[in-house]
Structure 1
Amino acid sequence: MTAIRHMTYQPVGGDAGAVETMTFDRLRELNDGGTQRADFHVLAVVDAGRGSVTVDFLRHPLGERSAVWVAPGAVHRWDDIAGVAGHVVLFTPAAPVTHATRELVASPDRVARWRVPDADWPFVDAARRHLLLEASAPPSDRVPELPEILLSALLTRLRPPYGGAGTMNPTFQLFRSSVEAHFRKHHDAAYYARALGYAPRTLSRAVRQVTGRTAKAYIVDRIVLEARRLLAHDRLTAAGCARALGFPDASNFSVFFLNATGVRPGAWQARAAADRRRA
């Protein structure tokens, strides 16, 4: 099993622009079949063909008029894209220019893959073509902010679905953002209630309303996801995961992981390695 490839946003030609585009043909040239983790967003729009992509251990089919959004920090692998046609847009978290699209890129609740409705496709396609046209302009004719404006238009037209109703619940939004920022150090729901100024019952009710889970379960799920990333792709030991995720020692982390997943970290890591070899 090869180690994860960490990618930093580096536009072609040293251009300082926050948005870059490429075709699936170019992606195939660059893709080595390995697992990647990027510090930027990866957005793909598929015109035709079939394939698949794995994002955070879940495999998603690619097909005509489907879209994929991989957020920074998510591990992903292009499993089968030999027959896929379309475009990929790479952009930094700060690239979108509207309030709504900045909130959209900051949300962890988007689904990773969805099919664009037929009624929306002409608008998505037009927004994409305009972005591609502007991105292809010669350096002397480029207007720096236009790709970011056109990216925002494309994101708005794509309308990615959400896995939950978090955008409708400001209490949950605050909790989610706080967990994302602090889950490596704070594992207790009571900490987030105090930090956000809510009574524990109020916070728990808001989280359950959106996710169907308790605040504690939400935190556990987030820690487990990061632990799986570290075990499977960074190939850390239980001791390394404990240090990275704020546990006092390897034993404490191992008990946590076993209780949450039903399997010990080493066994899960071995299983992930076997699955990767078969893929």
Structure 2
Amino acid sequence: MNLEEPAGGIGISGLPMVKTGHMTEIRQMAYQPAGGGSAAVEMMTFDRLREVNDGGTQRADFQVLALIDAGHGSVTVDFLRHPLRRRSAVWVAPGAVHRWDDIAGVDGHIVLFVPTAPVTRATRECVALSDLLTQWSIPDTDWPFVDAARNHLLLEASAPCADRAEELSEILLSALIARLRPPHGDARSTNPTFRRFQSSVEAHFREHHDAGYYARALGYAPRTLSRAVQEATGRTAKAYLVARIVLEAQRLLAHDRLSAAACAAALGFPDASNFSVFFQKATGLRPGAWQATVTV
């Protein structure tokens, strides 16, 4: 990943850290391979991360996969703090707001890649899921295979640029993901009806806030769709959709420090009043009041 240091702090892909008074705004990070190449997969050590990390809050347009070899620390992803410990993994999906809180004693590697980098159907579908667990422990029986897959990817990444074959890195990334077997938030969520709904929500939740739209678009009766979503998540289709919109609103309020009016515009609400009523009904607080309770 190309790391530069513009005025104001360390940025990634030439994007500076922006400060407003005492509040540091979220840093938007775009995928830009080192040297301006077209590689879809890059790797970095925690030593390198410590060199460039200032404790700021980030949102990336690429996948971030960390493998912890030793040490203890923590990372905060979408308002939840997760431990970093030996033989564990962390997965940060594109769009998730995250901050490396405590990594002074952590050893391991971070894999950065674009969502389309995996080459097999199964690993691409895995990467596309929005309910992968953020952090999990890798079983001792799986670790030797995960470690071998990671080391093979590292070896390929260390080859001179002229000798690298991009497809090899993507194949080896797929092997690593397959060996990791990232767990879902719900074991039943392989339901194909739910998966189609989930993908559609990710693509359209900023424009369409009615669960009926997704039923029509996917060709299901509303009850059929809601039943499938409830079986997979324990929530109705409407509740799932509301939760997804609320999460994005919280990201914008807490990290981008947007006003209710700006959030309303970003999330497809007709005006700030409409958005505020929606947010209060879902969280119990008006947007401004909720924003005041959050420290980033």
Q: Structure 1 length normalisation: TM-score?
A: 0.97
Query: Secondary structure of the equivalent of 1:145?
Result: helix
Is the counterpart of residue 230 in structure 1 residue 252 in structure 2? yes
**Counterpart for residue 252 of structure 1:** 274
Is the counterpart of residue 241 in structure 1 residue 263 in structure 2? yes
Give CA deviations for 1:6-26 in whole Å, capped at 9, x if unaligned.
000011122210000010000
Tell me which protein shows more helix as a share of its residues. Answer: 1
Query: Secondary structure of the equivalent of 2:281?
Result: helix
Query: Secondary structure of the equivalent of 2:24?
Result: coil
- Mapping for residues 151-230 of structure 1, pairs under 5 Å: 151-165=173-187, 167-230=189-252
Q: Work out the CA distance in 1 between the residues paired with 2:66 and 2:181.
A: 14
Q: Work out the CA distance in 1 between the residues paired with 2:89 and 2:40.
A: 20
Runs (4 or more) in structure 1 with deviation over 2 Å come to 165-168
* Higher RCO structure (Cα 8 Å, ≥6 apart): 1
**Counterpart for residue 54 of structure 2:** 32
Query: Post-superposition shift, 1:166?
Result: 5.3
**Counterpart for residue 101 of structure 2:** 79
Aligned pairs, number? 274
Q: Work out the CA distance in 1 between the residues paired with 2:190 and 2:130.
A: 14
**Counterpart for residue 4 of structure 1:** 26
Q: Work out the CA distance in 2 between the residues paired with 1:167 and 1:235.
A: 33
Is the counterpart of residue 108 in structure 1 residue 130 in structure 2? yes
Percent identical: 77
Q: Work out the CA distance in 1 between the residues paired with 2:117 and 2:102.
A: 29
**Counterpart for residue 53 of structure 1:** 75
Query: Secondary structure of the equivalent of 1:164?
Result: coil
**Counterpart for residue 156 of structure 2:** 134
Q: Work out the CA distance in 2 between the residues paired with 1:216 and 1:49.
A: 42
Q: Work out the CA distance in 2 between the residues paired with 1:144 and 1:216.
A: 42
Query: Post-superposition shift, 1:37?
Result: 0.4
8 Å contact from structure 2 (residues 188, 231) kept in 1: no
Q: Structure 2 length normalisation: TM-score?
A: 0.91
Q: Work out the CA distance in 1 between the residues paired with 2:80 and 2:154.
A: 29
8 Å contact from structure 1 (residues 166, 173) kept in 2: no
Give CA deviations for 1:58-100 in whole Å, capped at 9, x if unaligned.
1000000010010111100000000000000000011000000
